Amino acid sequence: MTAVILALLSATAFSISMVVQHRAATQAGAEHGGNGVIGLVLRLLRTRAWLAGQGAAVAGFTLHALAVSNGPVILVQPLLSFTLVFALGLGALVDRRHPDRPLPGRREWRSAAVVILGLVLFLVAARPHHGRHTGRPVVLLSCWGAALLLAVLAVAYGRRRERPHRALVFGVAAGCGFGMTGVLLKQVVHHAPTSWPTIWPLLALLVSGATAIVCAQSGYQAGRLIESLPTMTVLEPIVAACVAALAYRERFAGGWLPHLGQLAGLVMLTVGVIGIARAETARAEREPEPVLLP
C-alpha cells in the first residue's frame, strides 16, 4: 500500500509539473516569440511558475524513487500512467480562469475514465509480486543498450522531416527509455553508488532519462500528439514490466483468467490514451493564440 500511495503522489507531482511548465512556457513564448530558443530559456529561468514546475518534477522523481524502493517496478510504473489523467484534470482547473482557452470536452473525460478503469483492471488482474532488490547486471546492461540504440536509430530516422510517422518512432524510443529509467531507478535506490558496480546504474539511468526526454520532446514537435503520446504512455509500463521480470524476477499473477484481465486492462489503457490524444490534438488546433496575463 505504501508503494501505491507514493506512486500516486509521484504521478500527482509530475502532473503539476507538466501543467505549470506548459502554461509558463506558453506565456513566455508569447511574450518573447522572436527571441528564439535561448531567449525563451532565459525567460523561463526568471519565471517563478516555471521554476516551481521544475521543483514539482524533482518532487515527483523523489517520490518515484521512494515508490520503487517500497514496491515492485511492475506495480509502480503502471500507476505513473495516472499522470496523464491528473494533468488533464489540473489543466482544466487552471484553464477555467481563462475564458479564451477551450476546456476538455466530454470525449476527453470519457477517455480519462477509460484509462482509469483500464489501469485498475490491469493491476487487480496482475497482482504484482515482489522480486529481488538486486537486478542481474547482464540483463540490465543489455536492455539499457537496446533502449539506447533504439533512441539513436529514432534520432537518425527523424532527422529527415519528409519521413512518415516520425512522431510515432520518437514515441516508441521515448516509451522504452522511460521504462528502462524506471527499472534502473530501483537498482540505484537499493544500492548506494559507492563503487563501480553501483555507480554504473546511476550513470545509465541519467543517460536513459536524458535520451528519453529528448525523444519525447522530439516526438511532440515531429507530428500530432496522437502518434507519440499513446505509444509512449503504453510502452513505458510494458517495457518496465518485461525488464523487471527478467532482471529482478518480479512476476504477475499467472493463469488464463488473470492474463485475460491484464490484456483487457492494457487495451482499455491504450484506447483511453488514444482518445485523450485525439481530443487534445483537435482542441489544440482550434485554440487561439495565448493572451498575455496582466
| Amino acid in position 31 | E
Q: How confident is the model at residue 66 (pLDDT cuts 50, 70, 90)?
A: very high
Residues 24-53: pLDDT tens digits? 655 655 454 444 445 555 666 667 777 888
Angle at 182 between CA 178 and CA 186, to 5 degrees: 160
Helix 48-70 vs helix 2-31: angle between axes, to the nearest 10 degrees?
160
Q: How confident is the model at residue 287 (pLDDT cuts 50, 70, 90)?
A: low
Q: How confident is the model at residue 290 (pLDDT cuts 50, 70, 90)?
A: very low
- pLDDT, position 67: 93
Whether 197 has a pLDDT exceeding 60, the answer reads yes
- pLDDT, position 293: 34
- Answer for the pair 5, 79: CB distance below 8 angstroms, yes or no: no
Q: How confident is the model at residue 23 (pLDDT cuts 50, 70, 90)?
A: low
- pLDDT, position 221: 77
d(CA 76, CA 124): 13
The three three-digit cell numbers of residue 20, written as one number = 505549470
Q: How far is CA 248 from CA 119, 184, 259, 262, in A?
A: 22, 11, 20, 20
d(CA 243, CA 240): 5
Residues 214-251: pLDDT tens digits? 888 888 778 777 778 888 888 898 899 999 999 999 98
Cβ contacts of 228 within 8 Å, gap of 6 or more = 167, 168, 170, 171, 174, 216, 219, 220, 222
Which of 171, 173, 158 lies closest to 220 in space, CA to CA? 171
Which of 279, 178, 281, 155 lies closest to 232 in space, CA to CA? 178
